[in-house]
Every structure is written in C-alpha cells, then in structure tokens.
Amino acid sequence: MRLVNDRQTSEDRPDVGALGVVFFALMGSLGIATILLGPLPMIVAHARLEDPWRRIACLLGAVGALLILDVPLAVVAPSFVLGLLVSDYVARNVGFWRVCRVAVSTATVVSVALLSMSARIRGVSLWAAWKALAAGVVSYLQLGLGLPDGPEIELLTRVLVHEGPFLCVGLVLLSVWLSIGVTAHWRLIGDRGPFTAKSLRALRVQPWVAVAFVACFASGLFLSPSGHWVWLARGFSRVLGVLLFIQGCVTLSIAMDRRGVRHGARAVIYILAVGAGFYALVAAGVLGSFLPWQNREDEK
C-alpha cells in the first residue's frame, strides 16, 4: 500500500544550485554513454532538483553525450526519452512493473512510428526498412570495433533482423531494472515508497514465466535453424530471460539480506553477479519464481 507521504515533496529536496545542475548534466551524459544506465542520473535529478532545472539538467546531459562524448544520435535520442519517461513515473511512485509496462509500450510505439516514417520517406516496405536499419547497426559496430567481414558478421546481421525487436524490449527492461536497482541500493531517492531496496525485494515473477522461458529456450535449441519459429522462440526466450534475471537479482538480494551481508559487500557481489553471472542469475530467477516466498506484496 502506498502512503500519501511517501512522495517526496519540494520541502524534502536539498537546495541544489547551479553546480548541482552541471553535476547532474555530466552524470546524465555518462549515463547515456553507458546505454544501460541512461535513466539512472535522470531519476536522481528528478528527486533532487525542482522544475525546470531537472529537465534542463537532463537535456544538457543529452547534448553533452552527443557533442562531447560523441555518442550517436540514434543512441542519445531513445536514451533521453526513456530516461525522462522512467524518471517521471518513478517520481510518481507508481510501482516497478507499471514503469516497465509504460517504458516498453512507449518504446515500441515510438520505434514503430519512426520506422514507418523512414520506410515512407525511402519508399520501401516496413520490413525492408527494418532490415536496412539492422544492417546499418551491424556496420556501425563493425566499423567501431574494427571487425573484418566474415560469417560472424552475417550471423550477427541475421540475429538483429530476426531478434532485434525482442532484444530492444529486453534492453529497455534491463535498463529500467539496473537504474532503479542502483538508486535503491544506494538510497539515492529516499528510503520510502515502492523503489526502496525493501520494496523491490517484494517483486515476484509468476512461475509461468519460468515455464515459458524453459520451453522457448529448449525450442530454440532443437528447432530447425532455417525456420522462422526458431527465431521467435529465441526472441521470446531473451525477453523472458530478462524478467527472470530481475527475479534472480531479487532472490540474491533476499538471500544476502537474511544472512546480514553488509551494504558494501552487497554492492561488490551485485557487480560481480551482474557482470559475470548473468545466466546464473537467470537460473536463480527460475528457481526463485517457484519458491514459497513469505510476506508477498503484489503491486497494483
């Protein structure tokens, strides 16, 4: 249940001057450059700054990422929009899963609209425009990483063409979770509301998600590589895998909380687990979705 006083008021915010705006702008630029942590500085800026300075800081961060850090516009624009959207809904204390639903649905609508506009301008079909975009992304990665032409590049292009939409959805979910998780762990936006570490430990993924993930993952291994169904199975397994990764992080957090692991040690374990143990956390999420958790708090 959400209390009225859980929402941070203007009197609760510290007095942050011009240097604070510059600081959050710089952090915003670095966040956008990381892609996954793009919403993080904007969430904190919305909690610490008043309007219009919070939005000015976010805008300056996007400009800095584009002009100073040389981040491509194709990365800056969606990261900026996603960060503003997520930070606004976090400030409203609407609940984690609702933030995810809004972020994914908005990203989907905006992406389809932009792709349709590009297809109409170029006079090609929507599918042709998508294939051209995927090929452009691969070319950019190949140029930036200095990769030679070969079967690996062709495979990467096929994966992006067929699984790109699923990868985008998974990336949005992962970005939202990591950004909110960092703010909760370090208590960057207060110690009340649905985005505290204690509240996030109450998040649950339904068991059917784990069953569907196992089914899609197994189908992707055994279906014919030349068929379209294998791409759908692999794509859905990627999205479901991110949901189970979130549950795995929650399971790990509950285990450390019950063992009384110190705050700093938890941060180190989180970094190691997220950086090197992604699939281990997915497996923990599969198990965690079936555990008889106590004191379950479903979001509304």
What one-character-per-residue DSSP string does 102-134 give?
HHHHHHHHHHHHHHHHHHHHHT--HHHHHHHHH
Mean pLDDT of the chain: 86
Q: What is the mean pLDDT of residues 166-189?
A: 94
Q: The tokens of 270 are what?
A: 């989180």
pLDDT in tens, 102-134: 999 998 988 888 889 888 988 999 889 898 888
Q: Is 258 exposed, middle or buried (0-12, 13-18, 19+ CB in 10 A)?
A: exposed
Residue of 251, 242, 245, 265 whose CA lies nearest to 201: 251
Question: How high is the pLDDT of residue 26?
Answer: 95
Residue 222 has pLDDT above 70, yes or no: yes
Other C-beta atoms closer than 10 Å to the C-beta of 252 total: 22
Residue of 51, 39, 40 whose CA lies nearest to 82: 39
Using DSSP's 3-state secondary structure scheme, residue 190 falls into strand
Question: How high is the pLDDT of residue 293?
Answer: 58
Q: Is 227 exposed, middle or buried (0-12, 13-18, 19+ CB in 10 A)?
A: exposed
Give me the amino acid identity at 64. Answer: G
User: Residue 122: what are its φ and ψ, rounded to 5°?
Assistant: -85, -10
Query: Quick one: CA dihedral 212, 215, 218, 223, positive or negative?
Result: negative
How does residue 2 score in pLDDT terms, banded at 50, 70 and 90? very low
pLDDT in tens, 194-216: 999 999 999 999 999 999 999 99
β-sheet bridge partners, residue 190: 188
Rounded-to-10 torsion of CA 189, 192, 195, 197: 100
Segment among 42-46, 73-77, 84-88, 241-245 with least mean pLDDT: 73-77
Residue of 67, 262, 270 whose CA lies nearest to 181: 270
> CA-CA distance, 188 to 185, in Å (whole number)?
8
How does residue 300 score in pLDDT terms, banded at 50, 70 and 90? very low
- Residues near 84 by Cβ (< 8 Å), separated by ≥ 6? 42, 55, 58
Percent of the chain having pLDDT more than 90?
54
Q: Is 170 within 8 Å of 242 (Cβ atoms)?
A: yes
Q: What is the mean pLDDT of residues 162-170?
A: 92
> CA-CA distance, 237 to 213, in Å (whole number)?
5
Q: Is the pTM of this model over 0.85?
A: yes
Question: How high is the pLDDT of residue 96?
Answer: 95
Q: What is the mean pLDDT of residues 228-242?
A: 91
Can you give the residue ranges of every domain in the chain? 201-300
Q: The tokens of 131 are what?
A: 């294939």
Percent of the chain having pLDDT more than 70?
90
Residue 137 has pLDDT above 90, yes or no: no
N-terminal to C-terminal alpha carbon distance within the chain:
9
pLDDT in tens, 49-100: 888 899 999 999 999 999 999 888 878 988 999 999 999 999 999 999 999 9
Residue 12 has pLDDT above 60, yes or no: no
What b/e sequence results for 183-199 when a residue is b if at least 16 CB atoms lie within 10 Å of its CB, and e otherwise? bbbeeebeebbbbbbeb
Question: How high is the pLDDT of residue 3?
Answer: 41
Residue 294 has pLDDT above 60, yes or no: no
Question: How high is the pLDDT of residue 13?
Answer: 56
Segment among 3-17, 194-208, 255-269 with least mean pLDDT: 3-17
Chain-centre distance for alpha carbon 22: 25
Q: What is the mean pLDDT of residues 230-239?
A: 92
Segment among 21-25, 152-156, 161-165, 236-240 with least mean pLDDT: 152-156
SS3 track for 85-97:
HHHHHHHCCCCHH
Give me the amino acid identity at 189. Answer: I
CA–CA distance from 58 to each of 7, 35, 71, 87 (Å)?
A: 21, 15, 15, 10
- Residues near 128 by Cβ (< 8 Å), separated by ≥ 6? 119
Question: How high is the pLDDT of residue 297?
Answer: 43
Question: How high is the pLDDT of residue 51?
Answer: 83
Q: What is the mean pLDDT of residues 28-40?
A: 93
